[in-house]
């Protein structure tokens, strides 16, 4: 079946095009012909966009929960499906369910569930294991009693999922460059986070295969005049990508604008760090026995410690335009093709271009999601 998306503003690599259509067959984009093209008129199915925007689907590499479900509490395929459905309403067509620090047995359950979900749940791209190989000095909301060394047992577990991408956030100073190299050689995406590492330690990790920074600025050694820290290493090195939480609470917009000038938009990816409150009527939940509540838009425990975010990807895009001063196409790229590239999927996800998977989002001028498609299907 040939599907034609027409009568909309299509976001291409050069900006929005009003005179184009998108032809999709077997879940892939065939071409972007003129809207008046005969093939558009002859399509088996036509999707009238009603003048709204059609953009690449958003990809979120850090999703702890959504729709009232927390992955740590329910490391199952069913939970992943529910989380994905909650975020789909906000334009997320690809995501990594994220497990924060827990026992290795729990990590194993989560990895097996995510590996199965990659095959069964539309939009699941793998898993993000954030801890337990973290630094107590930068623990944030993580349970430091569960922190541990990245040993051979942990290595075998982290490299055990054959399907999708596995992203691991760790503190580089608490493992060895050789271990980081082994992980990278095994196909694991290694990111620095919850780290008190020095500039030199982080830089060495980059040389050995570290390619990401988890929620830049948060829970890491800061940029100082004589001690550049993890933030300094992130901004100074061109290669790594940095996840940023643009909610106006986690990081001052001015700091993010500085990072944008240092890294460029193609190395900053929007993440939500979303908790179960996203897409749910109830704005409180339990995290490993601790009550977390959304207070003035911020997820905090009873001591006021931040615990993830009450943020969706459409909101992150809107905030990036308002707070970072980027134009809408750039903000959308930071939510789509940039994270796709970080995951090594930039050749098939995150663009509206021939050959790419038809993961698409229809939205209003106010960046409110009207509809979405994964592999050209909006019924999944």
Q: Is the pLDDT of residue 380 over 80?
A: no
Structure tokens at 61: 């590499």
- Which numeric CATH code is attached to 2-55+352-373? 2.30.40.10
* Assigned architecture for domain 58-342: Alpha-Beta Barrel (3.20)
Q: Write down the H helix ranges in the chain.
A: 38-41, 77-88, 104-120, 152-158, 177-185, 199-207, 229-236, 253-263, 313-319, 328-334, 337-342
CATH fold match for the domains 2-55+352-373 and 58-342: no
pLDDT of residue 142: 97
Q: Is the pLDDT of residue 111 over 90?
A: yes
Q: Is the pLDDT of residue 349 over 80?
A: yes
Where are the chain's structural domains?
2-55+352-373, 58-342
Render pLDDT for 181-222 as a digit per residue (tens, 0 to 9). 999 999 999 999 999 999 999 999 999 999 999 999 999 999
Length of the chain: 380
Tell me the whole-structure pTM to 2 decimals.
0.98
Render pLDDT for 29-63 as a digit per residue (tens, 0 to 9). 999 999 999 999 999 999 999 999 999 999 999 99
Distance from C-alpha of 46 to C-alpha of 48, rounded to nearest angstrom: 6
What are the DSSP calls for 76-144, one per residue? SHHHHHHHHHHHHTTTEEEEEEEEES--HHHHHHHHHHHHHHHHHSTTB-EEEEE-SS--GGG-TTS-G
Render pLDDT for 70-97 as a digit per residue (tens, 0 to 9). 999 999 999 999 999 999 999 999 999 9
Sign of the CA dihedral running 50, 280, 316, 83: negative
Mean pLDDT computed over every residue of the chain: 97
pLDDT of residue 379: 80
Give per-residue burial for 260-292: e unless 16+ CB within 10 Å, then b: bebbebebbbbbbbbbbbbbbeebebebbeeeb
Active site residues: 273
pLDDT of residue 79: 98
């Amino acid at each position: 079946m040939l599907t034609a998306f027409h009568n909309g503003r299509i976001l291409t690599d050069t900006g929005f095009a009003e005179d184009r259509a998108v032809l999709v067959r077997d879940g892939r984009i065939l071409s972007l012909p003129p809207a008046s093209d005969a093939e558009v008129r002859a399509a088996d199915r036509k999707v009238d966009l009603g003048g709204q925007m059609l953009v690449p689907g958003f990809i979120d590499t850090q999703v702890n929960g959504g729709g009232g479900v927390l992955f740590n509490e329910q490391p199952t395929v069913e939970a992943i499906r529910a989380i994905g459905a909650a975020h789909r309403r906000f334009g997320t067509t690809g995501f990594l369910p994220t497990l924060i620090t827990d026992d290795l047995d729990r990590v194993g359950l989560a990895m097996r569930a995510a590996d199965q979900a990659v095959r069964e749940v539309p939009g699941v791209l793998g898993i993000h294991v954030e801890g337990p190989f973290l630094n107590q000095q930068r623990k944030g909301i993580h349970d430091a009693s569960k922190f541990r060394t990245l040993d051979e047992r942990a290595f075998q577990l982290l490299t055990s999922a054959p399907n999708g991408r596995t992203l691991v956030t760790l503190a580089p100073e608490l493992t060895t460059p050789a271990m980081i190299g082994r992980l990278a050689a095994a196909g694991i995406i290694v990111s620095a986070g919850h780290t008190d590492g020095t500039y030199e330690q982080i830089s060495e990790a980059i040389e050995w295969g570290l390619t990401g920074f988890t929620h830049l600025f948060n829970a890491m050694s800061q940029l100082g005049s004589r001690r550049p820290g993890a933030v300094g290493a992130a901004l100074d090195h061109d290669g790594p990508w940095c996840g940023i939480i643009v909610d106006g609470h986690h990081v001052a917009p001015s700091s993010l604008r500085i990072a944008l000038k240092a890294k460029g938009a193609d190395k900053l990816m929007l993440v939500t760090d979303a908790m179960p409150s996203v897409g749910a009527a109830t704005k409180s939940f339990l995290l490993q026995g601790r009550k977390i509540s959304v207070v003035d838009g911020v997820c905090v425990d009873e001591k006021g410690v931040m615990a993830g975010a009450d943020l969706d990807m459409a909101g992150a895009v809107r905030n990036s335009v308002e707070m970072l001063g980027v134009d809408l196409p750039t903000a959308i790229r930071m939510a789509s093709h940039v994270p796709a590239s970080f995951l090594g999927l930039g050749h098939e996800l995150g663009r509206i271009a021939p050959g790419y998977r038809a993961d698409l989002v229809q939205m209003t001028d106010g960046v409110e999601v009207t509809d979405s498609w994964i592999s050209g299907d909006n019924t999944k």
